[in-house]
Amino acid sequence: QQQVRQSPQSLTVWEGETAILNCSYEDSTFNYFPWYQQFPGEGPALLISIRSVSDKKEDGRFTIFFNKREKKLSLHITDSQPGDSATYFCAASGSFNKLTFGAGTRLAVCP
């Protein structure tokens, strides 16, 4: 059973547009949701995270919108840049510090 789902699998946007990456989860005990950015050949880098007590978290061009009732969240990347081209992973954890990852969304930003 896939606990964390991401969509779309891949996404292409033009430079300057807003990229929207979606994530949903099954386990209602999940209360912490980090997003990781991974470039080819590198490990995942923590980008931004949110706890379930909040419905929005903003950090520069990156914003997480969280809907606890629907068990959904999304990552919005405004003013997308070619350097944002990477794979983005949504993860979730509950009380045991164990992160469960989604399958990732591959983002391509075209200049």
Candidate list 5, 7, 20, 32; residue touching other proteins; CB under 8 A: 32
**Contact partners, residue 72, CB within 8 Å, separation at least 6:** 22, 23, 24, 25, 66
- Which token pair is 92? 């979730």
Name which of 81, 82, 87, 90 is nearest 25 in CA terms.
90
Q: Name which of residues 39 to 98 contact other proteins (CB under 8 A).
A: 42-46, 49, 51, 87, 89, 96-98
**Residue 110 binds other proteins (CB under 8 A):** no
Q: Which residues bind other proteins (CB under 8 A)?
A: 32, 34, 36, 42-46, 49, 51, 87, 89, 96-101, 103-104
